[in-house]
Structure 1
Protein backbone atom coordinates (compact mmCIF):
# COMPACT_ATOMS: atom_id res chain seq x y z
CA UNK A 1 0.00 0.00 0.00
CA UNK A 2 1.54 3.29 -1.09
CA UNK A 3 -1.26 5.59 0.11
CA UNK A 4 -2.92 5.82 3.53
CA UNK A 5 -6.34 4.18 3.95
CA UNK A 6 -9.48 6.20 3.29
CA UNK A 7 -10.84 5.89 6.83
CA UNK A 8 -9.97 4.47 10.24
CA UNK A 9 -12.58 3.11 12.63
CA UNK A 10 -12.17 1.98 16.23
CA UNK A 11 -14.71 0.18 18.42
CA UNK A 12 -13.32 0.09 21.96
CA UNK A 13 -15.20 -1.87 24.60
CA UNK A 14 -14.65 -3.41 27.99
CA UNK A 15 -13.71 -6.75 26.46
CA UNK A 16 -11.64 -5.77 23.43
CA UNK A 17 -10.69 -2.96 21.08
CA UNK A 18 -11.29 -3.50 17.35
CA UNK A 19 -9.41 -1.32 14.88
CA UNK A 20 -10.29 -1.31 11.18
CA UNK A 21 -9.64 0.62 7.99
CA UNK A 22 -10.86 0.60 4.40
CA UNK A 23 -8.74 1.12 1.31
CA UNK A 24 -9.84 0.67 -2.30
CA UNK A 25 -12.94 -1.24 -1.18
CA UNK A 26 -10.97 -3.63 1.02
CA UNK A 27 -11.39 -3.85 4.80
CA UNK A 28 -8.59 -4.67 7.24
CA UNK A 29 -8.94 -5.51 10.94
CA UNK A 30 -6.77 -5.77 14.03
CA UNK A 31 -7.88 -6.55 17.58
CA UNK A 32 -6.31 -5.56 20.90
CA UNK A 33 -7.38 -5.65 24.55
CA UNK A 34 -9.88 -4.05 26.92
CA UNK A 35 -10.66 -0.35 26.43
CA UNK A 36 -12.65 1.84 28.84
CA UNK A 37 -11.42 5.43 28.94
CA UNK A 38 -13.10 6.22 32.26
CA UNK A 39 -11.94 3.26 34.31
CA UNK A 40 -8.45 3.09 32.73
CA UNK A 41 -7.50 5.95 30.40
CA UNK A 42 -3.80 5.07 30.19
CA UNK A 43 -4.54 1.41 29.51
CA UNK A 44 -7.13 2.33 26.89
CA UNK A 45 -4.72 4.61 25.02
CA UNK A 46 -2.18 1.79 25.13
CA UNK A 47 -4.68 -0.64 23.57
CA UNK A 48 -5.75 1.87 20.89
CA UNK A 49 -2.12 2.47 19.97
CA UNK A 50 -1.46 -1.26 19.99
CA UNK A 51 -4.34 -1.68 17.57
CA UNK A 52 -3.15 1.11 15.27
CA UNK A 53 0.39 -0.25 15.22
CA UNK A 54 -0.89 -3.76 14.52
CA UNK A 55 -3.03 -2.49 11.66
CA UNK A 56 -0.06 -0.58 10.22
CA UNK A 57 2.05 -3.74 10.29
CA UNK A 58 -0.77 -5.65 8.62
CA UNK A 59 -0.84 -3.05 5.83
CA UNK A 60 2.98 -2.86 5.60
CA UNK A 61 3.00 0.90 6.16
CA UNK A 62 4.43 3.26 8.77
CA UNK A 63 2.15 4.38 11.59
CA UNK A 64 2.74 7.99 10.51
CA UNK A 65 0.69 7.35 7.36
CA UNK A 66 -2.45 7.26 9.53
CA UNK A 67 -1.90 10.83 10.75
CA UNK A 68 -4.28 12.61 8.34
CA UNK A 69 -6.73 9.75 7.84
CA UNK A 70 -10.23 10.54 9.20
CA UNK A 71 -10.75 8.33 12.25
CA UNK A 72 -13.98 7.59 14.07
CA UNK A 73 -13.72 6.13 17.57
CA UNK A 74 -16.64 4.69 19.55
CA UNK A 75 -15.21 4.06 23.01
CA UNK A 76 -16.58 2.73 26.28
CA UNK A 77 -16.31 5.31 29.04
CA UNK A 78 -16.66 8.45 26.93
CA UNK A 79 -18.84 10.47 29.29
CA UNK A 80 -18.79 13.74 27.37
CA UNK A 81 -16.75 16.18 25.24
CA UNK A 82 -14.04 16.66 27.87
CA UNK A 83 -13.27 12.95 28.04
CA UNK A 84 -13.27 12.76 24.23
CA UNK A 85 -10.78 15.64 24.11
CA UNK A 86 -8.56 13.92 26.68
CA UNK A 87 -8.37 10.91 24.39
CA UNK A 88 -7.89 12.93 21.20
CA UNK A 89 -4.94 14.85 22.66
CA UNK A 90 -3.09 11.60 23.27
CA UNK A 91 -3.48 10.14 19.79
CA UNK A 92 -1.15 10.79 16.82
CA UNK A 93 -4.14 11.58 14.57
CA UNK A 94 -5.23 14.92 13.12
CA UNK A 95 -8.88 14.21 12.25
CA UNK A 96 -10.76 12.32 14.97
CA UNK A 97 -14.36 12.05 16.10
CA UNK A 98 -14.81 10.34 19.45
CA UNK A 99 -18.15 9.21 20.87
CA UNK A 100 -19.42 6.67 23.37
CA UNK A 101 -19.58 3.08 22.15
CA UNK A 102 -23.40 2.94 22.00
CA UNK A 103 -23.44 4.97 18.76
CA UNK A 104 -21.48 2.51 16.55
CA UNK A 105 -23.36 -0.41 18.09
CA UNK A 106 -26.67 1.16 17.05
CA UNK A 107 -25.43 2.07 13.56
CA UNK A 108 -24.01 -1.42 13.06
CA UNK A 109 -27.18 -3.21 14.16
CA UNK A 110 -29.80 -0.87 12.68
CA UNK A 111 -27.99 0.72 9.76
CA UNK A 112 -30.01 3.79 8.83
CA UNK A 113 -33.44 2.18 9.16
CA UNK A 114 -36.07 2.84 11.81
CA UNK A 115 -35.92 0.26 14.55
CA UNK A 116 -34.83 -0.64 18.05
CA UNK A 117 -31.75 -2.22 19.57
CA UNK A 118 -31.50 -4.16 22.80
CA UNK A 119 -27.90 -4.86 23.78
CA UNK A 120 -27.31 -7.13 26.75
CA UNK A 121 -23.77 -8.37 27.22
CA UNK A 122 -21.68 -7.81 30.34
CA UNK A 123 -23.34 -4.37 30.29
CA UNK A 124 -26.57 -3.25 28.65
CA UNK A 125 -28.28 -0.40 26.84
CA UNK A 126 -31.26 0.21 24.57
CA UNK A 127 -31.76 2.41 21.52
CA UNK A 128 -34.61 3.41 19.23
CA UNK A 129 -33.80 5.01 15.89
CA UNK A 130 -36.34 7.04 13.94
CA UNK A 131 -35.66 9.09 10.81
CA UNK A 132 -31.92 8.78 11.27
CA UNK A 133 -31.84 9.90 14.90
CA UNK A 134 -31.19 7.45 17.72
CA UNK A 135 -32.30 7.84 21.33
CA UNK A 136 -30.48 5.83 23.99
CA UNK A 137 -31.13 4.55 27.51
CA UNK A 138 -28.91 2.60 29.86
CA UNK A 139 -25.23 1.86 29.58
CA UNK A 140 -24.43 3.54 32.90
CA UNK A 141 -22.28 0.72 34.25
CA UNK A 142 -22.67 -2.00 36.83
CA UNK A 143 -22.88 0.28 39.86
CA UNK A 144 -25.58 2.59 38.54
CA UNK A 145 -27.51 0.56 35.98
CA UNK A 146 -26.96 -2.00 33.22
CA UNK A 147 -30.27 -3.67 33.99
CA UNK A 148 -30.81 -7.02 32.24
CA UNK A 149 -27.09 -7.35 31.54
CA UNK A 150 -25.20 -10.54 32.29
CA UNK A 151 -23.66 -9.02 35.41
CA UNK A 152 -27.11 -7.87 36.59
CA UNK A 153 -28.53 -11.37 36.11
CA UNK A 154 -25.61 -13.00 37.93
CA UNK A 155 -25.74 -10.51 40.80
CA UNK A 156 -29.51 -10.94 41.26
CA UNK A 157 -29.12 -14.71 41.35
CA UNK A 158 -26.69 -14.39 44.26
CA UNK A 159 -28.90 -11.87 46.04
CA UNK A 160 -31.92 -14.17 45.70
CA UNK A 161 -29.86 -17.09 47.01
CA UNK A 162 -29.13 -15.10 50.16
CA UNK A 163 -32.86 -14.37 50.48
CA UNK A 164 -33.49 -18.10 50.29
CA UNK A 165 -30.99 -18.63 53.11
CA UNK A 166 -32.85 -16.03 55.20
CA UNK A 167 -36.16 -17.79 54.58
CA UNK A 168 -37.57 -14.86 52.60
CA UNK A 169 -37.78 -16.72 49.29
CA UNK A 170 -38.61 -20.30 48.36
CA UNK A 171 -35.53 -22.35 47.44
CA UNK A 172 -34.96 -23.69 43.94
CA UNK A 173 -32.45 -25.82 42.09
CA UNK A 174 -30.60 -22.63 41.09
CA UNK A 175 -30.25 -21.35 44.67
CA UNK A 176 -29.02 -24.75 45.81
CA UNK A 177 -26.56 -24.91 42.91
CA UNK A 178 -25.11 -21.52 43.82
CA UNK A 179 -24.86 -22.36 47.52
CA UNK A 180 -23.04 -25.56 46.63
CA UNK A 181 -20.74 -23.79 44.17
CA UNK A 182 -19.69 -21.13 46.68
CA UNK A 183 -19.85 -23.61 49.61
CA UNK A 184 -21.71 -21.20 51.88
CA UNK A 185 -23.27 -17.76 52.18
CA UNK A 186 -19.86 -16.60 53.41
CA UNK A 187 -18.39 -17.73 50.11
CA UNK A 188 -21.03 -15.77 48.20
CA UNK A 189 -20.35 -12.59 50.17
CA UNK A 190 -16.59 -12.96 49.76
CA UNK A 191 -16.96 -13.50 46.01
CA UNK A 192 -19.24 -10.47 45.62
CA UNK A 193 -16.87 -8.23 47.58
CA UNK A 194 -14.06 -8.85 45.11
CA UNK A 195 -16.02 -9.50 41.87
CA UNK A 196 -16.11 -7.19 38.89
CA UNK A 197 -18.85 -6.99 36.29
CA UNK A 198 -17.36 -9.78 34.18
CA UNK A 199 -17.13 -12.06 37.23
CA UNK A 200 -20.83 -11.60 37.95
CA UNK A 201 -21.55 -12.04 34.24
CA UNK A 202 -19.90 -15.47 34.24
CA UNK A 203 -22.75 -16.66 36.49
CA UNK A 204 -25.44 -15.65 34.00
CA UNK A 205 -25.35 -18.91 31.96
CA UNK A 206 -26.31 -20.79 35.12
CA UNK A 207 -29.39 -18.60 35.37
CA UNK A 208 -30.43 -18.86 31.72
CA UNK A 209 -29.99 -22.65 31.78
CA UNK A 210 -32.05 -22.88 34.96
CA UNK A 211 -34.76 -20.64 33.48
CA UNK A 212 -35.00 -22.95 30.46
CA UNK A 213 -35.75 -25.75 32.95
CA UNK A 214 -38.54 -23.69 34.58
CA UNK A 215 -36.58 -22.84 37.73
CA UNK A 216 -38.81 -20.27 39.50
CA UNK A 217 -36.00 -18.02 40.77
CA UNK A 218 -34.26 -17.98 37.40
CA UNK A 219 -37.50 -17.31 35.53
CA UNK A 220 -38.37 -14.45 37.86
CA UNK A 221 -34.96 -12.84 37.20
CA UNK A 222 -35.38 -13.18 33.43
CA UNK A 223 -38.94 -11.85 33.64
CA UNK A 224 -37.75 -8.80 35.60
CA UNK A 225 -35.07 -8.16 33.00
CA UNK A 226 -37.55 -8.39 30.14
CA UNK A 227 -39.86 -5.94 31.92
CA UNK A 228 -37.00 -3.42 32.34
CA UNK A 229 -36.09 -3.73 28.66
CA UNK A 230 -39.71 -3.38 27.54
CA UNK A 231 -40.19 -0.28 29.72
CA UNK A 232 -37.08 1.37 28.27
CA UNK A 233 -37.93 0.59 24.65
CA UNK A 234 -41.49 1.86 24.83
CA UNK A 235 -40.39 5.09 26.52
CA UNK A 236 -37.73 5.61 23.85
CA UNK A 237 -40.45 5.49 21.19
CA UNK A 238 -40.67 1.89 20.00
CA UNK A 239 -44.08 1.06 18.52
CA UNK A 240 -45.57 -2.20 17.33
CA UNK A 241 -44.17 -3.18 13.95
CA UNK A 242 -40.78 -1.54 14.33
CA UNK A 243 -38.01 -4.17 14.05
CA UNK A 244 -36.07 -5.04 17.20
CA UNK A 245 -32.48 -6.29 17.04
CA UNK A 246 -30.90 -8.19 19.92
CA UNK A 247 -27.13 -8.06 20.43
CA UNK A 248 -24.89 -9.28 23.22
CA UNK A 249 -24.52 -12.78 24.60
CA UNK A 250 -27.48 -12.86 26.98
CA UNK A 251 -29.97 -10.72 25.02
CA UNK A 252 -31.62 -13.62 23.10
CA UNK A 253 -32.40 -15.35 26.41
CA UNK A 254 -34.92 -12.60 27.24
CA UNK A 255 -36.91 -13.16 24.02
CA UNK A 256 -39.37 -15.74 25.47
CA UNK A 257 -40.32 -13.23 28.18
CA UNK A 258 -41.27 -10.42 25.79
CA UNK A 259 -44.84 -9.72 24.72
CA UNK A 260 -46.14 -11.34 21.54
CA UNK A 261 -45.84 -8.12 19.51
CA UNK A 262 -42.23 -7.64 20.59
CA UNK A 263 -41.37 -11.26 19.80
CA UNK A 264 -42.91 -10.84 16.35
CA UNK A 265 -40.68 -7.79 15.75
CA UNK A 266 -37.38 -9.55 16.50
CA UNK A 267 -35.05 -9.29 13.51
CA UNK A 268 -31.38 -10.25 13.01
CA UNK A 269 -28.96 -7.35 13.38
CA UNK A 270 -27.63 -5.83 10.16
CA UNK A 271 -24.05 -5.77 11.39
CA UNK A 272 -21.62 -5.41 14.28
CA UNK A 273 -20.34 -2.38 16.23
CA UNK A 274 -17.19 -2.24 14.10
CA UNK A 275 -19.42 -2.17 11.01
CA UNK A 276 -21.18 0.78 12.60
CA UNK A 277 -17.89 2.50 13.40
CA UNK A 278 -16.79 2.12 9.78
CA UNK A 279 -20.07 3.58 8.54
CA UNK A 280 -19.73 6.54 10.93
CA UNK A 281 -16.11 6.99 9.84
CA UNK A 282 -17.30 7.38 6.23
CA UNK A 283 -19.85 9.97 7.39
CA UNK A 284 -17.04 11.82 9.18
CA UNK A 285 -14.83 11.70 6.09
CA UNK A 286 -17.61 13.18 3.96
CA UNK A 287 -17.98 16.05 6.42
CA UNK A 288 -14.26 16.79 6.22
CA UNK A 289 -13.96 16.56 2.45
CA UNK A 290 -17.37 18.01 1.62
Structure 2
Protein backbone atom coordinates (compact mmCIF):
# COMPACT_ATOMS: atom_id res chain seq x y z
CA UNK A 1 0.00 0.00 0.00
CA UNK A 2 1.52 3.30 -1.11
CA UNK A 3 0.28 6.74 -0.08
CA UNK A 4 0.82 9.88 -2.12
CA UNK A 5 0.15 13.43 -0.93
CA UNK A 6 0.30 16.41 -3.29
CA UNK A 7 0.15 19.60 -1.26
CA UNK A 8 -0.49 22.75 -3.26
CA UNK A 9 -1.11 26.43 -2.67
CA UNK A 10 -4.90 26.07 -2.78
CA UNK A 11 -5.68 22.38 -2.13
CA UNK A 12 -4.12 19.06 -1.16
CA UNK A 13 -4.82 15.80 -3.01
CA UNK A 14 -4.32 12.36 -1.46
CA UNK A 15 -4.17 8.95 -3.15
CA UNK A 16 -3.70 5.43 -1.80
CA UNK A 17 -2.80 2.66 -4.25
CA UNK A 18 -1.67 -0.93 -3.89
CA UNK A 19 1.14 -2.86 -5.56
CA UNK A 20 -1.26 -4.04 -8.28
CA UNK A 21 -2.03 -0.45 -9.31
CA UNK A 22 -5.53 -0.44 -7.86
CA UNK A 23 -6.84 2.82 -6.43
CA UNK A 24 -7.84 2.13 -2.86
CA UNK A 25 -8.82 5.68 -1.86
CA UNK A 26 -8.72 9.32 -2.94
CA UNK A 27 -9.35 12.54 -1.05
CA UNK A 28 -9.06 16.28 -1.63
CA UNK A 29 -8.62 18.71 1.25
CA UNK A 30 -7.45 22.27 1.90
CA UNK A 31 -3.91 23.53 1.45
CA UNK A 32 -1.37 22.34 4.02
CA UNK A 33 1.00 25.25 3.42
CA UNK A 34 2.62 26.30 6.67
CA UNK A 35 3.20 29.76 5.17
CA UNK A 36 -0.50 30.48 4.93
CA UNK A 37 -1.83 28.28 7.75
CA UNK A 38 0.99 28.18 10.29
CA UNK A 39 2.70 24.93 11.26
CA UNK A 40 0.17 23.83 13.87
CA UNK A 41 -2.86 24.24 11.60
CA UNK A 42 -1.07 22.92 8.50
CA UNK A 43 -0.01 19.79 10.40
CA UNK A 44 -3.54 19.32 11.72
CA UNK A 45 -4.96 19.57 8.19
CA UNK A 46 -2.35 17.16 6.80
CA UNK A 47 -2.96 14.55 9.50
CA UNK A 48 -6.70 14.92 8.99
CA UNK A 49 -6.38 14.47 5.23
CA UNK A 50 -4.19 11.39 5.55
CA UNK A 51 -6.50 9.94 8.18
CA UNK A 52 -9.58 10.48 6.01
CA UNK A 53 -7.86 8.85 3.03
CA UNK A 54 -6.84 5.78 5.01
CA UNK A 55 -10.28 5.50 6.58
CA UNK A 56 -11.90 5.37 3.14
CA UNK A 57 -9.81 2.28 2.40
CA UNK A 58 -10.18 0.81 5.90
CA UNK A 59 -6.40 0.90 6.02
CA UNK A 60 -4.52 1.33 9.26
CA UNK A 61 -1.48 3.66 9.21
CA UNK A 62 0.72 0.67 10.07
CA UNK A 63 -0.34 -0.99 6.80
CA UNK A 64 1.07 1.82 4.64
CA UNK A 65 4.25 0.41 3.11
CA UNK A 66 5.62 3.84 2.23
CA UNK A 67 4.37 7.37 1.66
CA UNK A 68 5.65 10.41 -0.16
CA UNK A 69 4.34 13.74 1.09
CA UNK A 70 4.82 16.66 -1.28
CA UNK A 71 4.63 19.95 0.58
CA UNK A 72 4.51 23.51 -0.79
CA UNK A 73 7.70 25.50 -0.07
CA UNK A 74 9.61 22.42 1.09
CA UNK A 75 13.36 23.01 0.75
CA UNK A 76 12.97 26.77 0.41
CA UNK A 77 13.92 27.58 4.00
CA UNK A 78 16.55 25.34 5.59
CA UNK A 79 15.45 26.35 9.06
CA UNK A 80 11.96 24.87 8.56
CA UNK A 81 12.95 21.59 6.89
CA UNK A 82 13.10 19.53 10.11
CA UNK A 83 9.65 20.80 11.13
CA UNK A 84 8.21 19.97 7.72
CA UNK A 85 9.77 16.50 7.80
CA UNK A 86 8.01 15.91 11.11
CA UNK A 87 4.52 16.97 9.99
CA UNK A 88 3.19 13.43 9.24
CA UNK A 89 5.02 11.80 12.17
CA UNK A 90 2.09 11.66 14.59
CA UNK A 91 0.28 9.28 12.23
CA UNK A 92 2.91 7.60 10.04
CA UNK A 93 6.07 5.71 11.01
CA UNK A 94 8.96 8.09 10.39
CA UNK A 95 10.95 5.30 8.70
CA UNK A 96 8.22 4.74 6.12
CA UNK A 97 7.64 8.14 4.61
CA UNK A 98 9.57 10.96 3.03
CA UNK A 99 8.66 14.60 2.59
CA UNK A 100 9.74 16.73 -0.35
CA UNK A 101 8.69 19.64 -2.51
CA UNK A 102 5.31 19.23 -4.20
CA UNK A 103 6.92 19.69 -7.61
CA UNK A 104 8.33 16.16 -7.25
CA UNK A 105 4.72 14.95 -7.38
CA UNK A 106 4.25 16.73 -10.71
CA UNK A 107 7.35 15.10 -12.19
CA UNK A 108 6.53 11.65 -10.84
CA UNK A 109 2.94 11.79 -12.06
CA UNK A 110 3.36 13.39 -15.46
CA UNK A 111 6.35 11.24 -16.45
CA UNK A 112 5.75 8.11 -14.38
CA UNK A 113 8.96 8.57 -12.35
CA UNK A 114 11.08 8.36 -15.52
CA UNK A 115 13.99 10.59 -16.59
CA UNK A 116 12.69 13.96 -17.74
CA UNK A 117 11.50 17.38 -16.65
CA UNK A 118 8.07 18.53 -15.55
CA UNK A 119 6.68 22.01 -14.97
CA UNK A 120 4.03 22.72 -12.39
CA UNK A 121 2.10 25.93 -12.96
CA UNK A 122 -0.62 26.49 -10.41
CA UNK A 123 -0.82 29.35 -7.95
CA UNK A 124 2.99 29.38 -8.23
CA UNK A 125 5.35 27.82 -10.77
CA UNK A 126 8.45 25.63 -10.72
CA UNK A 127 10.24 23.11 -12.92
CA UNK A 128 11.82 19.90 -11.63
CA UNK A 129 13.57 17.00 -13.29
CA UNK A 130 15.62 13.87 -12.77
CA UNK A 131 18.22 12.36 -15.05
CA UNK A 132 20.73 9.56 -14.43
CA UNK A 133 20.21 9.76 -10.67
CA UNK A 134 20.60 13.55 -10.57
CA UNK A 135 17.86 16.02 -9.72
CA UNK A 136 17.43 19.77 -10.23
CA UNK A 137 14.82 22.51 -10.04
CA UNK A 138 14.33 26.05 -11.32
CA UNK A 139 11.78 28.70 -10.45
CA UNK A 140 9.57 28.53 -7.40
CA UNK A 141 10.82 31.79 -5.91
CA UNK A 142 7.38 33.02 -4.86
CA UNK A 143 5.11 35.64 -6.36
CA UNK A 144 7.12 38.67 -5.25
CA UNK A 145 10.47 37.47 -6.60
CA UNK A 146 9.36 35.31 -9.49
CA UNK A 147 6.85 32.47 -10.14
CA UNK A 148 6.76 33.52 -13.80
CA UNK A 149 4.10 31.72 -15.82
CA UNK A 150 2.01 30.88 -12.73
CA UNK A 151 -1.64 31.76 -12.19
CA UNK A 152 -0.53 34.55 -9.87
CA UNK A 153 1.84 35.92 -12.52
CA UNK A 154 -0.83 35.69 -15.24
CA UNK A 155 -3.29 37.48 -12.94
CA UNK A 156 -0.80 40.25 -12.19
CA UNK A 157 -0.04 40.72 -15.89
CA UNK A 158 -3.76 40.72 -16.66
CA UNK A 159 -4.49 43.34 -14.03
CA UNK A 160 -1.72 45.48 -15.41
CA UNK A 161 -3.20 45.11 -18.88
CA UNK A 162 -6.62 46.20 -17.58
CA UNK A 163 -5.07 49.30 -15.98
CA UNK A 164 -3.40 50.24 -19.26
CA UNK A 165 -6.65 49.68 -21.15
CA UNK A 166 -8.49 51.86 -18.63
CA UNK A 167 -5.93 54.68 -18.85
CA UNK A 168 -5.86 54.60 -22.63
CA UNK A 169 -2.22 53.49 -22.69
CA UNK A 170 -3.25 50.59 -24.91
CA UNK A 171 -6.26 49.61 -26.99
CA UNK A 172 -9.21 48.18 -25.08
CA UNK A 173 -9.97 44.53 -25.76
CA UNK A 174 -12.50 42.02 -24.36
CA UNK A 175 -10.61 41.86 -21.05
CA UNK A 176 -11.68 45.40 -20.21
CA UNK A 177 -15.42 44.75 -20.16
CA UNK A 178 -15.01 41.27 -18.70
CA UNK A 179 -13.27 42.69 -15.64
CA UNK A 180 -15.82 45.47 -15.18
CA UNK A 181 -18.71 43.01 -15.44
CA UNK A 182 -17.19 40.29 -13.24
CA UNK A 183 -16.25 42.71 -10.46
CA UNK A 184 -19.42 44.75 -10.85
CA UNK A 185 -17.62 48.09 -11.16
CA UNK A 186 -18.58 51.17 -13.16
CA UNK A 187 -15.60 53.22 -11.96
CA UNK A 188 -12.42 51.47 -13.03
CA UNK A 189 -10.33 52.60 -10.05
CA UNK A 190 -12.75 50.77 -7.75
CA UNK A 191 -10.88 47.63 -8.82
CA UNK A 192 -8.06 48.73 -6.52
CA UNK A 193 -10.26 48.24 -3.46
CA UNK A 194 -11.16 44.74 -4.64
CA UNK A 195 -7.55 43.74 -5.26
CA UNK A 196 -5.82 45.47 -2.36
CA UNK A 197 -8.63 44.69 0.06
CA UNK A 198 -8.62 41.85 2.57
CA UNK A 199 -9.81 39.05 0.24
CA UNK A 200 -7.83 40.24 -2.75
CA UNK A 201 -4.59 40.09 -0.85
CA UNK A 202 -4.95 36.34 -0.34
CA UNK A 203 -2.54 34.69 -2.76
CA UNK A 204 -4.93 31.98 -3.97
CA UNK A 205 -7.83 34.44 -4.42
CA UNK A 206 -5.64 36.83 -6.39
CA UNK A 207 -4.47 33.97 -8.65
CA UNK A 208 -8.06 33.21 -9.68
CA UNK A 209 -8.04 36.38 -11.77
CA UNK A 210 -6.03 34.32 -14.28
CA UNK A 211 -9.31 32.67 -15.32
CA UNK A 212 -10.60 36.06 -16.52
CA UNK A 213 -7.45 36.61 -18.56
CA UNK A 214 -7.98 33.20 -20.17
CA UNK A 215 -11.61 34.01 -20.97
CA UNK A 216 -10.55 37.27 -22.57
CA UNK A 217 -7.95 35.50 -24.70
CA UNK A 218 -10.56 32.98 -25.90
CA UNK A 219 -12.85 35.91 -26.71
CA UNK A 220 -10.26 37.26 -29.13
CA UNK A 221 -8.26 39.60 -26.92
CA UNK A 222 -4.83 39.39 -28.59
CA UNK A 223 -3.10 41.24 -25.76
CA UNK A 224 -4.50 38.77 -23.21
CA UNK A 225 -3.43 35.87 -25.43
CA UNK A 226 0.07 37.33 -25.56
CA UNK A 227 0.27 36.98 -21.75
CA UNK A 228 -0.10 33.21 -22.10
CA UNK A 229 2.54 33.13 -24.81
CA UNK A 230 4.95 34.98 -22.52
CA UNK A 231 4.00 32.67 -19.66
CA UNK A 232 4.86 29.63 -21.78
CA UNK A 233 8.25 31.08 -22.70
CA UNK A 234 9.01 31.77 -19.04
CA UNK A 235 8.15 28.17 -18.12
CA UNK A 236 10.31 26.80 -20.92
CA UNK A 237 13.18 28.97 -19.67
CA UNK A 238 12.85 27.08 -16.37
CA UNK A 239 12.84 23.75 -18.22
CA UNK A 240 16.01 24.77 -20.07
CA UNK A 241 17.67 25.78 -16.80
CA UNK A 242 16.86 22.39 -15.27
CA UNK A 243 18.29 20.64 -18.31
CA UNK A 244 21.56 22.53 -17.91
CA UNK A 245 21.69 21.79 -14.18
CA UNK A 246 21.16 18.08 -14.86
CA UNK A 247 24.14 18.08 -17.26
CA UNK A 248 22.15 16.27 -19.93
CA UNK A 249 24.47 15.62 -22.89
CA UNK A 250 23.99 17.85 -25.92
CA UNK A 251 21.87 16.14 -28.57
CA UNK A 252 20.04 13.97 -26.04
CA UNK A 253 16.27 14.23 -26.27
CA UNK A 254 14.50 14.59 -22.93
CA UNK A 255 10.77 14.19 -22.16
CA UNK A 256 8.96 17.26 -20.81
CA UNK A 257 5.50 17.36 -19.29
CA UNK A 258 3.42 19.49 -16.92
CA UNK A 259 0.70 19.75 -14.30
CA UNK A 260 -1.17 22.44 -12.40
CA UNK A 261 -4.26 24.57 -12.73
CA UNK A 262 -2.80 26.84 -15.43
CA UNK A 263 -2.76 23.83 -17.76
CA UNK A 264 -5.95 22.08 -16.66
CA UNK A 265 -8.53 22.23 -19.43
CA UNK A 266 -6.72 25.15 -21.07
CA UNK A 267 -5.78 24.28 -24.64
CA UNK A 268 -4.42 27.80 -25.06
CA UNK A 269 -1.79 27.23 -22.36
CA UNK A 270 -0.88 23.73 -23.54
CA UNK A 271 -0.53 24.84 -27.16
CA UNK A 272 1.61 27.83 -26.19
CA UNK A 273 3.81 25.60 -24.00
CA UNK A 274 4.32 23.02 -26.75
CA UNK A 275 5.13 25.75 -29.25
CA UNK A 276 7.67 27.33 -26.89
CA UNK A 277 9.31 23.92 -26.34
CA UNK A 278 9.68 23.44 -30.09
CA UNK A 279 11.11 26.92 -30.61
CA UNK A 280 13.67 26.33 -27.86
CA UNK A 281 15.24 23.72 -30.15
CA UNK A 282 16.97 21.98 -27.24
CA UNK A 283 15.78 18.42 -27.80
CA UNK A 284 12.64 18.56 -25.70
CA UNK A 285 9.97 15.89 -26.33
CA UNK A 286 6.54 17.00 -25.16
CA UNK A 287 4.60 14.33 -23.28
CA UNK A 288 1.00 14.51 -22.12
CA UNK A 289 0.79 13.87 -18.37
CA UNK A 290 0.39 10.18 -17.49
CA UNK A 291 -1.04 10.60 -13.99
CA UNK A 292 -2.13 13.44 -11.75
CA UNK A 293 0.39 14.55 -9.09
CA UNK A 294 -1.15 12.72 -6.13
CA UNK A 295 -0.78 9.42 -8.00
CA UNK A 296 2.72 10.49 -8.97
CA UNK A 297 3.48 10.87 -5.27
CA UNK A 298 2.15 7.36 -4.61
CA UNK A 299 4.24 5.93 -7.45
CA UNK A 300 7.30 7.70 -6.10
CA UNK A 301 6.56 6.25 -2.66
CA UNK A 302 6.65 2.78 -4.22
CA UNK A 303 9.93 3.61 -5.93
CA UNK A 304 11.45 4.90 -2.67
CA UNK A 305 10.38 1.67 -0.99
CA UNK A 306 12.24 -0.33 -3.62
CA UNK A 307 8.94 -1.77 -4.90
CA UNK A 308 8.15 0.15 -8.12
CA UNK A 309 4.94 -0.88 -9.85
CA UNK A 310 5.41 -3.15 -12.87
CA UNK A 311 3.98 -2.41 -16.31
CA UNK A 312 0.80 -4.39 -15.66
CA UNK A 313 0.13 -2.43 -12.47
CA UNK A 314 0.89 0.87 -14.20
CA UNK A 315 -1.59 0.04 -16.96
CA UNK A 316 -4.20 -0.84 -14.34
CA UNK A 317 -3.65 2.49 -12.62
CA UNK A 318 -3.89 4.40 -15.93
CA UNK A 319 -7.16 2.67 -16.78
CA UNK A 320 -8.64 3.48 -13.39
CA UNK A 321 -7.51 7.10 -13.60
CA UNK A 322 -9.05 7.45 -17.06
CA UNK A 323 -12.32 5.95 -15.86
CA UNK A 324 -12.39 8.28 -12.88
Q: In the alignment, is residue 227 of structure 1 matched against residue 230 of structure 2?
A: no
Q: Which one of 216, 236, 254 corresponds to residue 242 of structure 1?
A: 254
Number of residues paired by the alignment?
A: 280
- Aligned counterpart in structure 1 of residue 84 of structure 2, from 83, 87, 109: 87
Q: Given the alignment of the two structures, is residue 273 of structure 1 paired with residue 293 of structure 2, yes or no?
A: yes
Larger RCO (alpha carbons 8 Å, 6+ apart): 2
SS at match of 2:148: coil
- Partner Cα separation in structure 2 for residue 231 and residue 214 of structure 1: 27
Which residue of structure 2 aligns with residue 28 of structure 1? 24
Matched position secondary structure for 2:231:
helix
Please show how residues 46-195 of structure 1 align to structure 2 within 5 Å.
Answer: 46-60=44-58, 65=62, 69-78=65-74, 79-80=76-77, 82-90=79-87, 91-92=89-90, 93=92, 94-95=94-95, 96-182=97-183, 183=185, 184-194=187-197, 195=200
Q: Which stretches in structure 1 are left out of the alignment for 5+ residues? A: 1-5
The offset of 1:125, in angstroms, is: 1.6
Post-superposition CA distance 1:41-97 (Å, at most 9, x none): 22221121112322342243555x36x853321111223554232134452233232
| Map of 1:3 onto structure 2 | none
Shift of 1:106: 0.9
Residue 254 (structure 1) aligns with: 269
| SS in structure 2 of the partner of residue 113 of structure 1 | coil
Alpha-carbon distance between aligned partners in 2 of 1:267 and 1:13, rounded to the nearest angstrom: 22
Worse overlay, 241-250 or 142-151:
241-250
SS in 1 for 2:168: coil
Offset of 1:158 from its aligned partner?
A: 1.2
Task: State the SS of the aligned residue for 2:241.
Answer: helix
> For the Cα contact (< 8 Å) 2:107–2:119, is it kept in 1?
no
**Mapped contact 2:110–2:290 kept (Cα < 8 A):** yes
- CA distance in structure 2 between the aligned counterparts of 1:52 and 1:260, rounded to whole angstroms: 37
- For the 8 Å contact 1:30–1:51, the answer to whether it is kept is no
- Greater shift after overlay, 262-271 or 211-220? 262-271
Q: How does the TM-score come out when normalised to structure 1?
A: 0.82
Gap regions ≥5 residues in structure 2: 245-250, 308-324
- Secondary structure in 1 matching 2:25: strand
What's the CA shift for 1:132? Answer: 4.1
**1:192 Cα offset (Å):** 1.5
Deviations along 1:174-207, whole A, 9 cap, x unmatched? 1233234431333211121131233233222322
State the distance in 2 between where 1:7 and 1:162 align. 49
The change in CA–CA distance for 1:270 and 1:24 in structure 2 (over 3 A counts) is closer
Distance 1:24 1:105, change over 3 A: closer
SS at structure 1 position matched to 2:35: coil
TM-score for the superposition, normalised by structure 2 = 0.75
Take 1:60 and 1:261, find their aligned partners in 2: how far apart are those partners?
A: 47
How far the C-alpha of 1:126 sits from its partner, in A, is 1.9
What secondary structure is seen at the aligned counterpart in 1 of 2:44?
helix
Change (3 A) 1:49 1:112: closer
Distance 1:235 1:89 in 2: 31
